[in-house]
Structure 1
């Protein structure tokens, strides 16, 4: 019975969250069309609402650990569900994502993504996608912000393993800026698929900065070890909560 009640609460939460996404998008649209700050403000407003409402609607608290960057950096994060996107974005002032090309056509998300300067790539054309990422990052340097990429290229459910792709290393070398890894355990509470949202505290953690200058091999090894080690520790915390 308790699971059924939680499922219903989760369903109501999801419906309201997407309805509010539409409302906020419409309210902020006049500002966003003429000033990119309006698009950032709309996204931050929605992320803030989701975090606040998840706490009392489904019993899901969220926590951001570490120090979120505010300057021109590359953020490379573990991706388990939509919630890690929400938490990372809510923590930085001018985030923009490397995202799959199909999302450009998604209602609201695609339009606002373009206004915020997100970069769409075709994941099926690896070499061309990397060249496009590098070219668009270089072209966008006049508009500072925090470029966010998920190195495994897709959502990875807790316990699953997928390789880290070379794109993040190419961007790291090309941009010549600090890289901030991000670990998470959010998939334990907000899964990639399905309705159920579980009670507990979902965490993302901004980890120590990887400075410029590493070789591709050194960077990839450091990045994967850092993110996976800390994500595994956070998931152990989550399992302890869920087992109570």
Structure 2
């Protein structure tokens, strides 16, 4: 019962608060994109505070998180990390599925913020557009972030990476920082109930530029699943 009440209070507080942030960004977004980025960072901090004080979820980072011109590849288990990554990194340019940009209000804010739309079913032409957008964000001094599994994955599962990662790795020529997360333990995909606990980010070793695509995928896949049971890597 307590978990259900905490989850309900979290949903009410977070979504009502999110509407305030969206409306504020809509009102001020025409002034400067930097304003939208600051509002988005504030929204992420608000989300982390709601998770901390209403759900009893805290965040821990294991390992040294390098900052700079990197491609950050993050495990995707729940909605938590898609928002919290704005606390983890400084104004990250995140690759997001194209259909999210069609959501009323939110889609416009996503464009103003500088998210990068990804066409899941598109081919080489879409990858070139993605590369151009990524280069633009790099020129702005912003880190790039990608959730390479394409969708939320239940904790303990380790599906193969989507082809978009290998394409970006080859085209951008950036070293990769792989990051594992275990948010699915306390905030399972598609579940209303969210449990208290520690959500851990585990920073893996940097994957250098110039590796064979298969080797780069192998290293990244192992690193982002480092918090899963060992048997998950055999899937």
Q: Write the mapping of 1:15-164 to structure 2, written as runs, cut at 5 A.
A: 15-164=12-161
Q: Distance in 2 between matches of 1:188 and 1:152?
A: 18
Paired with 1:119 and 1:175, the residues of 2 have a C-alpha distance of 14
Q: How many residue pairs were aligned?
A: 231
Correspondent of 1:165 among 162, 171, 174? 162
Q: Between 69-78 and 185-194, report the one with greater CA deviation.
A: 69-78
Q: Give the Cα separation in 2 of the matches to 1:221 and 1:14.
A: 37
Q: TM-score, normalised by structure 2?
A: 0.89
Tell me what 2:228 maps to.
232
2-structure distance, mates of 1:70, 1:35 = 25
SS state at 1:232 partner: coil
Aligned to 1:34, the other structure's residue is in SS state coil
Q: Which of 185, 193, 205 is the equivalent residue of 1:208? A: 205
* Higher share in helix: 1
> What whole-Å deviation, never above 9, does each CA across 1:70-93 have from its counterpart, x for those lacking one?
322211110001111223221111
Q: Deviation per CA, 1:185-224, whole angstroms, max 9, x where unpaired?
A: 0011112212111011111223222121212111111111
Q: Secondary structure at the residue paired with 2:217?
A: helix
Q: Which runs of 4+ in 1 moved over 4 A?
A: none
State the TM-score, normalized to the length of structure 1: 0.86
In structure 2, do the counterparts of structure 1 residues 231 and 127 end up closer, same or farther at CA, with 3 Å as the change threshold? farther
